[in-house]
Amino acid sequence: MSFEVHILGCGSALLTSMRNQSAQVVKVQNRQFLIDCGEGTQVQLRNQKIRMQNIKHIFISHLHGDHYFGLPGLLSTFHLLGRENEIHLYGPAELKGLIYSLLKASNTYLNYDLHFHPLNFKSPELLFEDKSVEVHSFPMRHSVDTCGFVIKEKPKLRKINRTATDAYEIPVFELNSIKEGKDFVTEDGQVIANEKLTFAPDASRSYAYCSDTSYYPQLCDSIQNVDLLYHEATFGNDQEKLAKKTKHSTAKHAALIAKQAGVKQLVIGHYSARYTDLNVLLNEAKVEFENTLLADDGLKISL
């Protein structure tokens, strides 16, 4: 079952011809979540051959243009393509009014339902769940209200030890409850412990997205032990003052968060246009957290 982070854009506010602005698609099994939607995201969705009509949930971290100026165009394109399936949009409360003003100005009445869910910038919140996946938001610290997001698989079913279940002649209709952890009782009353009949379940994977934020260790509570953390690293150590002033992080900050939260892997992005050699940022991060990699537009990371 797939869990893949597909980065569409990892540039920052000043658009360059080298990098797209913030956007990524997280595919979890058959779901496609879009996180942030900078200008040009719909072009990137096409270029990266992502079936955009499979996106049903869109999460906008904050209202700086490089994180959502592609959203009006994407929502219009869904409409023009005849979409009928609903979209759930999660973002700052003002986003709803902005989108509807733009649609009204163009006399557009969407032929699909757009459900808007305002974000809460005070405390972590469960935004979405279904039988196997949850998405939570958590507040970060930036120059405008901003949330991070964490996407987690729920605990999975134990895996049947076929040899054992065959040996005990366990009927097929019992297998689901055994996957859920129940013991099996034979016709003569013998209790077979679940551990004898199953293997441990596959690990539940998790991914966290933190962009944009100043160095904010409190967010570690929300992203503890995730398999992969995307954390902004707009600047290097050379621009620590500017990072503080603009409420962004350095690569070192990102790595400190990764270390403190005990994540397995860190991917940094949201690079300032001033860095042409991104290894500067990578090396600064690796000092604190070795398992770091550089985001790139088009990069896919499977968990």
Contacts with its own copies, residue ranges (CB under 8 A)? 13-17, 39-40, 42-43, 46-47, 63-66, 69-70, 72-73, 76-77, 80-81, 92, 94-95, 97-98, 101-102, 105-108, 143-144
Q: How far is the CB of 97 from its own copies (least distance, A)?
A: 7
Q: How far is the CB of 196 from its own copies (least distance, A)?
A: 55
Q: Which is nearer to its own copies, 85 or 224 (CB)?
A: 85
Q: In angstroms, rounded to a whole number, what is the distance separating the alpha carbons of residues 142 and 122?
A: 13
Q: How far is the CB of 228 from its own copies (least distance, A)?
A: 28
Q: Which of 66, 145, 227, 297 is catalytic?
A: 66
Q: How far is the CB of 12 from its own copies (least distance, A)?
A: 10
Q: Which is nearer to its own copies, 47 or 186 (CB)?
A: 47
Q: How far is the CB of 63 from its own copies (least distance, A)?
A: 4
Q: In angstroms, rounded to a whole number, what is the distance separating the alpha carbons of residues 182 and 194?
A: 6
Peptide bond before 297: cis, by omega within 30 degrees of 0?
no
Q: Which is nearer to its own copies, 64 or 136 (CB)?
A: 64
What residues form DSSP beta bridges with 116? 89
Q: How far is the CB of 15 from its own copies (least distance, A)?
A: 6
Q: Which is nearer to its own copies, 32 or 44 (CB)?
A: 44
Length of the chain: 303
* Catalytic site includes residue 66: yes
Q: Which is nearer to its own copies, 16 or 279 (CB)?
A: 16
DSSP class per residue in the chain: --EEEEEEE-B-SS--SS-PPSEEEEEETTEEEEEEE-TTHHHHHHHTT--GGGEEEEE-----GGGTTTHHHHHHHHHHTT--S-EEEEE-THHHHHHHHHHHHTT---SS-EEEEE--SSS-EEEEE-SSEEEEEEE--SSS--EEEEEEEPPPPPEE-HHHHHHTT--GGGHHHHHTT--EE-TTSPEEPHHHHEEPPPPPPEEEEE-S--S-GGGHHHHTT-SEEEEE--B-GGGHHHHHHHT--BHHHHHHHHHHHT-SEEEEE-B-TT-S-THHHHHHHHHH-SSEEE--TT-EEE-
Q: Which is nearer to its own copies, 92 or 148 (CB)?
A: 92
Q: In angstroms, rounded to a whole number, what is the distance separating the alpha carbons of residues 208 and 157?
A: 23
State the catalytic residues: 66
